Amino acid sequence: MSTDPQPPAPPTTVTLTIDGKSATVPKGTNVLEAAKTVGVEISAFCYHPGLSIAACCRQCLVAVEKNPKLQPSCQQIVGDGMVVHTTDAQSTAARKQMLEFTLVNHPIDCPICDKAGECTLQKHYFEHDNAASRIDTPKVEKPKVVDLGPHIVLDAERCILCTRCIRVCDEVAGQHQLEMKQRGDHEEITTAPGQKLDNPYSLNTVDVCPVGALTSKDFRFTMRAWELDATPSVCQGCATGCNVELHHKNDRVWRLVPRHNPAVNGHWMCDEGRFTYHDLREQRLAVATVGGLPASWDKAVKAAADKLATPLKDAGSVAVVLSAQASNEDNYALAKLAAAWKAKLFVTARPDRGDRADGKLRVADVNPNRAGVAAIAADAGDLAALEAGVNTGALRAVVFLGHDLPVSETALRRLRELDCVVALATHERGPVKAAGIALPIAAWTETHGSVTNADGRIQRMHAAVAAPGQAVPGWEAVARLAQATSAKVAWTTARDVWKDMTAAVKPWAGTPWGREVRPLALRFAGSRG
């Protein structure tokens, strides 16, 4: 065995000086990102931290000592002892000149541009130039309102040729659907031969576009960006649980955009997930109903308690159904009520869609919380067992969460014949219409809570808009129903439910409210791909 001393491990960090400030960053970091660590913002158009480096806009030029030429800071990798200047006369003049060059043919149509208020070109102009134009010749005109695909419209005059959208298609979607044509000031973005911009991640091109060249048909001309409030949440489209921002106004969600989380979705989300907000407006259950007629909450829960009184004497004849579409808190509350009633517990989920799994962000499981329900009720029966109990008459009463109860027509007819069927639902659809009593609950954008994605990561949702009509959080509806049936189940806030839940569900023990975690004991089988 050799006793020779081992060579020291190579350093993993680099220390450099940026505008007189010392910065220590991981080896391989570019100067632009290193500058951010010491509070120095360098303007850029083509750079995006989630994409490859193009260095084509030249808007991020800086001076590096001992280097005779200005360098694009997005492409320049830091070196130990490097000295960088971003505010010297040469760098400042170069960036201002590049900005002026970018604006030579750019139309000044900010008053009608969808990107106004969140436009990188606007931001850089006011921060780094703010001077009157010196151009007195006609601007080059390019095509407007170009239909690139099912979701995207192009205004080629606004495009500054940063190539971000091309890289999104190539590197995120894995489909080469955009490219450049022509040269010089006639160069413009277009679809590749025989292609349309129709990949499942196409709307990410709108997010990364630094100007208003690419716009979403879904949001185009809807309202100004600065009129919207933003609330962090989690996409409910599938088990990936992409982090999103809800953009809302006047108690209505108007769009979803991805929120950066390197452990889940990076900078991206799929188009299908973006459109899930539309469902929040359709066929909502806004008032409690008894026998199909509107009723007050007091009347509805009393009617439910009266109808459940006899079946609850034989606990084995009552079914309580959790939902992989609902939050951890709503499912836990209902599971606890089932335990108090000594009722049989079941779980329903939307069937997998194998056609959507792509090895990226889209997975076959279109339920946002299958893993959470599995942790809360590991021994619950499945849909087949529930349907068998309904069809054979073994079950006399059913209390179910959500409107996703994909039973057969025979079972749906049998549901209508039971002594008592109570739905706690956001929408008036399918089996909810068959329920004798329906209790309106808040949707995922209207209440605080959490879901658990396919990787076992618990992620928080935050209330952004008010629930319609009489709707209340699902756990609160459970508490009201529990009180009417004299069950000892009660909470006053979602946080109270969280405390009880994390104390009872072992993998989540000690998890603080509001923090995202990924318990290793809860890795769910149906993960990526």
Q: State the DSSP string of 256-297.
A: EEE--BTTTTBT---HHHHGGGGGGGSSB--SEEETTEEE-H
Identify whether 499 is part of a domain.
Answer: yes
Count up the domains in the chain and report the number: 3
Instruction: Choose the final residue of a domain: 202, 226, 250.
Output: 226
Query: How far from the centroid of its chain's Cα atoms is residue 37's Cα?
Result: 27
Backbone angles phi, psi at 522, to 5 degrees: -120, 30
Distance CA 245, CA 231 (A): 5
Q: Note whether 456 and 511 are same-domain residues.
A: yes
SS (H, E, C) 506-519: HHHCCCCCCCCECC
Report pLDDT for 474: 97
Identify whether 270 is part of a domain.
Answer: no
Instruction: Choose the final residue of a domain: 174, 199, 226.
Output: 226
Identify whether 271 is part of a domain.
Answer: no
Token digits of residue 64 = 């590096």
pTM attached to this predicted model: 0.91
Distance CA 420, CA 395 (A): 10
Report pLDDT for 431: 86
Identify whether 79 is part of a domain.
Answer: yes
Distance CA 305, CA 526 (A): 38
CA distances from 272 to 142, 204, 362, 444 (A): 31, 12, 9, 17
- Cβ contact 473:444 at 8 Å: no
Report pLDDT for 514: 66
| Cα end-to-end distance, the chain, whole Å | 46
Q: Note whether 399 and 503 are same-domain residues.
A: yes
Q: Note whether 154 and 84 are same-domain residues.
A: no
Domain CATH for 35 = 3.10.20.740
Q: Note whether 28 and 167 are same-domain residues.
A: no
Coil, helix or strand for 431?
helix
Q: Note whether 157 and 92 are same-domain residues.
A: no
Burial of 520 (0-12, 13-18, 19+ CB in 10 A): exposed
pLDDT averages per 10-residue partition of the chain, 529 residues = 62 94 96 97 96 96 96 97 97 95 92 93 90 90 96 96 98 97 94 96 98 96 93 96 96 96 96 96 94 95 95 89 96 96 94 94 97 94 87 90 81 83 93 90 96 94 95 97 92 93 90 62 37
Domain CATH for 203 = 3.30.70.20
Report pLDDT for 522: 42
Distance CA 201, CA 172 (A): 7
Place of tokens 């049936």: 485
Q: Note whether 512 and 387 are same-domain residues.
A: yes
Length of the chain: 529
Report pLDDT for 413: 82
Q: Note whether 44 and 179 are same-domain residues.
A: no
Q: Note whether 200 and 334 are same-domain residues.
A: no
CB neighbours of 367 closer than 8 A, spacing ≥ 6? 238, 239, 324, 325, 349, 350
Report pLDDT for 515: 58
Instruction: Choose the final residue of a domain: 226, 250, 271.
Output: 226
Q: Note whether 34 and 144 are same-domain residues.
A: no
Domain CATH for 516 = 3.40.50.740
How many C-beta atoms surround the C-beta of residue 357 within 10 A? 16
Identify whether 240 is part of a domain.
Answer: no
SS3 content of the chain, % helix, strand, coil (to 5): 30, 20, 50
Backbone angles phi, psi at 34, to 5 degrees: -65, -35
Identify whether 115 is part of a domain.
Answer: no
Report which of 148, 140, 180, 151 is spatially closest to residue 164, judged by C-alpha positions: 180
Q: Note whether 382 and 501 are same-domain residues.
A: yes
Report which of 73, 76, 75 is spatially closest to residue 61, judged by C-alpha positions: 73
CB neighbours of 32 closer than 8 A, spacing ≥ 6? 42, 44, 47, 60, 73, 74
Report pLDDT for 527: 36
Identify whether 120 is part of a domain.
Answer: no
Q: Note whether 193 and 293 are same-domain residues.
A: no
Q: Which domain holds residue 214?
A: 137-226
Report pLDDT for 245: 95
Report pLDDT for 346: 94
Q: Note whether 407 and 508 are same-domain residues.
A: yes
Report pLDDT for 11: 74
CA distances from 326 to 298, 369, 441 (A): 24, 7, 11
Identify whether 8 is part of a domain.
Answer: no
